Chain A
């Protein structure tokens, strides 16, 4: 079964608005990562947040992690049409070594 479950499954917003997507997971993690996938392409790594971190920023991206609730959120500020893609969270489980477990993804559509 999937370790990460994302919410919402799909999100449609206007350009300039903020987009927030959430990820919940089940077991203890070393870190949580967010990836982006354009339609029919490979995934691109966006940001990694370690289990001892609570918030991380990268450009227009802000990620939070709440290990007590086993959840993370990805905020994209001032969205652009080019942000249209699917976004996946992936967890590196404690003791899981080199493996990542991916969530089901959020499809984001940013309209002009």
Chain B
């Protein structure tokens, strides 16, 4: 997990509230990613950013938003439009060009009550 921090580790929110998950990296990697993981499932890509001030939708972007104002930071906002927000959220980075390995943060477990 070294070099990528996600906070908080556990987050509880009431239904209908927006919530922002933090992801910070000191690896100097250009590309950053947000994934969602449901129990017993694989990872699904929400959004990714290959460079500052640019990002693209992944497979399940509806109900989520992101920003990439700094190379080190890629916050994810889970909006009230996301129907089933309770999940484990993972942030990752990738170095260099395409087709490399990804490095993951420790994750944030979001529970919407």
Interface set of A (CB-CB < 8 Å, partner B)? 2, 4, 30-31, 33, 35, 40-45, 48, 88, 90, 92, 96-105, 107
Contacts and interface: CB of A to CB of B under 8 A. Distances in A.
B106 interface: yes
Given A43-B90, A43-B102, 14 more contacts: A30-B99, A40-B88, A42-B1, A42-B105, A42-B106, A43-B104, A45-B103, A48-B100, A97-B50, A98-B48, A98-B50, A99-B45, A102-B42, A102-B43
Nearest to B35: A102
Contact of A97 (B35, B44, B98, B103): B98
B15 to A, nearest CB: 24
Given A98-B48, A99-B48, A45 B102 contact: yes
A42 B104 contact: yes
Contact of A104 (B42, B48, B105): B42
Q: Which 6 A-B pairs have the closest CB atoms?
A: A42-B104, A102-B43, A102-B42, A45-B101, A43-B104, A104-B42
Contacts of A41: 1, 106-107
B71 interface: no
A42 B107 CA distance: 6
A51 B4 CA distance: 29
Contacts, number: 65
Nearest to A3: B42
A98 B101 contact: no
B17 interface: no
Which of B41, B43, B45, B103 is packed against the most chain A CB atoms within 10 Å? B43
Contacts of B35: 102
Interface string B31-42: 100010000111
B110 interface: no
A2 B42 contact: yes
Interface string B89-113: 0101010011111111111010000
A7 to B, nearest CB: 13
